[in-house]
Structure 1
Amino acid sequence: TTLVQTQLKDAATAAPTLIPPGLPGYKTDYQGPSFDAEKARALLRSVYPDTALVPPIVFTYPTALLSRSEANALCSMWSSVLNISVKPLPVELNAYTDELSQHQIQLGFIQWYALYPDPHNWLAPNLLSNAPHNESRWQNQTFDQLITEAEQANGETRFALYQQAEQLALEEVAILPLDHETISAIIPPWVHGITLNARGLYVADWSQVYLSPH
């Protein structure tokens, strides 16, 4: 929330979930893992009792997708909470994509636009053990099984399975969601029949859209 308020000026929605608002399977009542700075420091000390021995951490980000001020703000938050050094490294988009595909990014940033409005496209392509876009190489057999079961289910049962898979990925921080992008549109009063979904997109029948004299 702090990042969305200070850096994005509330132009996006803070993301406690991977599945964005307005999509089937979105959990309206899920707040995400709670912020607990002391627990985070304790977990770090369980691996590095002396945090001075934590290896250098570099946050590499594509300059075309993330601003310098946002990257610096993220690094500052991580550094101040964990008492470690996290250094930002801006990279041109094509070079970043190459490094990401070769798993050379230690801590990075991705922007995901689903190809179709379904929870499957927000979870499976990035997080299945054998997924082509699983850049972090996170693997969890329970997650894989939940996705497989969801692919074979229908209705609310299907969405519930995707929600279980999503919560597992969030709890293990397979991906740390930052924000859900919002889209604004100016629709003149003489344009009729357009309704926008929660993502700010028009996905209905264009044959129902018409213009009145003006």
Structure 2
Amino acid sequence: MTTTLPTRTTAAWELAQRSSIRAFRAGRYVLIVAEGHLPTPGYELDIQQSPLRIFPQQYNLVRRELPGIWPDVLMPYRYPEVVVFPADRPAVTVHHADGQDEVHIEECGESLAPFAAAVADADGEAGSPAPEATGMSPRLSFDEAFADALSKLPQPAETHPDRMTTVDVIHIGGLFGGVAGFHHLVVRIRGTSD
């Protein structure tokens, strides 16, 4: 007999501990990779934009407990998150349970070439004829990856109430493994406005 425990939780997010945080740049995207341990396997992990209204934006490494009964063992993790971050900034601030880190942003090396290629054509220039954006989902959800890409699509400089934007999906793929521990669905979109 198989028992399925509910995976939805109403637990609040709290800052998580980390043993290391690294960041890698690929164009206008920055890959933040956090490593550490969770108190049990019954936690969900995320890197979220800080609610602080500050430029450049800062991020929080957070966790929340999932419902169910879990063994009391430390669970190692490696969690990647891809964010849009200003190209002229050499470091990103990540808050965690032990304080905050100013993480130097490294260039993607050979080991992250597939990631860099996945986001390479996303030029992000609002003045270009057809700006692109890339979204990712660690739960392999098309809806989540598409919504992530939409949130990163640059808004047109000129707006009017009747403007219509068409969004085309130009690539669907996946990234798995590597130094970042990817397990992501990747969706690249292109937006055109009339």
Shorter-chain TM-score range: under 0.3
Which has the larger share of helix? Answer: 1
Larger strand proportion, structure 1 or 2? 2
- The normalised TM-score by structure 1 is 0.25
TM-score (normalizing by structure 2): 0.27
Q: Which has the higher contact order (CA 8 A, sep 6+)?
A: 1
Greater radius of gyration (CA): 1
